[in-house]
């Protein structure tokens, strides 16, 4: 099966400094949870600390996690992680 068929574009939201939301888009593989192609958007220089990241799938928030180096991202599609 072609893995490209499993990849969809979704809203990607990062929450900064206790509530400032920055929205863009990303691709997510609905089989593996891998999140790629996160669109970078210009935002205020005032934001400093990213509190959380999530995608929206079918109107539901799905939290996104990254590896320790910040190179790979994955969505908790199966609810395996706690935020």
Domains of the chain: which residue ranges? 3-75
Mean pLDDT of 8-15: 96
pLDDT in tens, 36-76: 999 999 888 888 898 999 999 989 999 999 988 878 999 99
* Residue 29: CB atoms within 10 Å: 18
Mean pLDDT of 8-19: 94
How far is residue 59's CA from residue 70's CA, in Å, rounded to a whole number?
26
Predicted TM-score (pTM) of the model is 0.85
How far is residue 33's CA from residue 29's CA, in Å, rounded to a whole number?
5
- For 56, half-sphere exposure in the C-beta direction (CA atoms, 13 angstrom radius) is 8
What the block records as the tokens of 23 is 């929205």
Q: Facing residues of 65 across strands?
A: 74
Question: What is the reported pLDDT for 79?
Answer: 80
The overall average pLDDT reported for the chain is 89
Question: What is the reported pLDDT for 71?
Answer: 86
């Amino acid at each position: 099966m072609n893995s490209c068929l499993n990849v969809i574009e979704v809203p990607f939201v990062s929450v900064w400094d206790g509530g400032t939301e920055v929205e863009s888009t990303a691709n997510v593989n609905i089989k593996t949870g891998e999140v790629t192609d996160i669109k970078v958007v210009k935002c205020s220089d005032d934001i400093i600390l990213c509190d959380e990241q999530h995608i929206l799938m079918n109107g539901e928030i799905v939290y996104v996690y990254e590896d320790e180096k910040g190179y790979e991202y994955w969505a908790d599609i199966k609810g395996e992680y706690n935020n």
